[in-house]
Amino acid sequence: MSQSSEDLASPWNPVPKGLEGVIVANTMISKIDGKKGRLIYRGYDIQDLAGNVPFEAVAFLLWVGHLPNPLELDTFRKNLAEHRHISSDVRSFLEGTPHEADPLVVLRTAVSTMGLRPTKKDSILEDGLNLASQFPIILSYFQHMRNDEEIIEPRKDLGHASNYIYMLTGEVPSKEHEHALDSYLTLLADHGMNASTFSARVTISTLSDIYSAIVSAIGTLKGPLHGGAPSKVWEMLQEIGQAENVTPWLKERIANKERIMGFGHRIYRTEDPRSKILKKLAKEIANPDTFALASLVESEARKLLQEEHPDRPLDTNVEFYSSLVLNAGGIPTDMFTATFACARSFGWVAHIMEQLADNRIYRPDSEYVGPLDLSVPKMYDAKK
């Protein structure tokens, strides 16, 4: 008898909880093929992109729609590098930031701070460059500030991945390390209509500004159901410690129905295509003992989980080998999810652009299931 069911007896009501499987937008940015285990960015399989195409070219692809020609790539690289400086507002925010703050909260607040002064250039591309180029700077500044170390200033001659590692560690990464983090950024840059991307689109759909939309996305990614807990995979490997502990450790967890970190994904019915590539990258740059331990955990867990749930195969997800790649790249454990945000910021900006190009406000409905026609108690009538 509620308004919703009276007015809106439509085939799409009710929709599944959490909007699972409900198409809320058409997109030309990325496609997840959950059955085949493929992820496509604007027509290209990420298997062909990651590691072959430099991350800046992938970013250009996501934003502009095609892979850049040499001139376009050169210009885009320079543009990104030119934006490698933070405003005095952001700098003084970071200087006052408590050292114990969650890096994602620091990132969220720093980006909100960036919106305090209205930009002169009213260009979404300009704002996107400004935002995406500064994520790594904000994080590495905070890293040094909380450790009472000297700030390492950005370098404009390095690539996006390379500059991030340089700013964090003070050393220009090796070719292998640069390649691995560059590939990581490509792999994590977009992933269909995930919760953070959706929240960015909902926010921008009111014709709010890009800073508001990115702030929404960061806050949404912060939740463990989305941004996950890649640092927990790392902690798990530390806890297991050595090969002989793997099987008993896993068996105990499974017997207690505890979750094994880094396994399973809602979308992929088969192996997460990102996970396969991350494993290769981890093999290239991680400590060989750690990699061997992780591989053993993977194969043992896969076997044990399959015995437990033969109908529901559980493969490693994107978090599992990410943790090895990020650790080897010099990223502090508690900045793994914030580094995920560095990659995903490029996807968020692409979706914000796409939403604005054909916008309609997201203003869904709810079904009222509470009481009706209550009378205000007498005690309040006296106050009239």
Is 179 catalytic? The answer is no
Q: Which is nearer to a copy of itself, 32 or 353 (CB)?
A: 32
Nearest alpha-carbon partner for 135 in 347, 334, 330, 343? 343
Tell me the per-residue interface mask from 77 to 96 with a copy of itself, x by CB under 8 A, - otherwise.
------------x--xx--x
Q: What distances in angstroms separate CA 233 from CA 54, 73, 225, 263, 356, one per listed residue?
A: 28, 36, 15, 10, 37
Joined together, the tokens standing for residue 72 give 């376009």
Which of residues 74, 171, 259, 368 is near a copy of itself by CB under 8 A? Answer: 368
Beta bridge partners of 32: 39
- What is the distance between the alpha carbons of residues 349 and 206, in angstroms, rounded to a whole number? 16
C-alpha span between 22 and 193 (Å, rounded): 10
Q: Which of residues 15-44 bind a copy of itself (CB under 8 A)?
A: 15-35, 40, 42-44
Interface with a copy of itself by CB under 8 A: which range of 190-198, 279-287, 319-327, 330-338?
A: 190-198
d(CA 207, CA 63) in angstroms, rounded, equals 19
In whole angstroms, what is the distance from residue 367 CA to residue 3 CA? 8
* Residue from the set 49, 167, 296, 341 that interacts with a copy of itself by CB under 8 A: 49
Minimum CB separation of residue 105 from a copy of itself in Å reads 5
C-beta closer to a copy of itself: residue 293 or 338: 338
Q: Which of the following is catalytic: 83, 319, 351, 354?
A: 319
- Interactions with a copy of itself, residue window 109-168 (CB under 8 A): 109, 112-113, 115-118
The dihedrals phi and psi of 38, each to the nearest 5 degrees, come to -125, 150
Who contacts 101 (Cβ-Cβ below 8 Å, separation ≥6)?
Answer: 142
- Does 283 bind a copy of itself (CB under 8 A)? Our answer is no
Question: If binding is defined by CB under 8 A, does position 334 make contact with a copy of itself?
Answer: no
Residue 319 among the catalytic residues:
yes
Helix axis angle for 273-285 and 318-328, nearest 10°, is 30
Nearest to 176 by CA among 162, 189, 186, 188: 162
213 near a copy of itself, rule: CB under 8 A: yes
Supply the minimum distance, in Å, between the C-beta of residue 150 and a copy of itself. Answer: 23
Of 160, 177, 179, 265, which one is the catalytic site residue?
Answer: 265
Binding a copy of itself (rule: CB under 8 A), the pick from 209, 271, 284, 300 is 209
Point out the residues that are catalytic: 265, 319
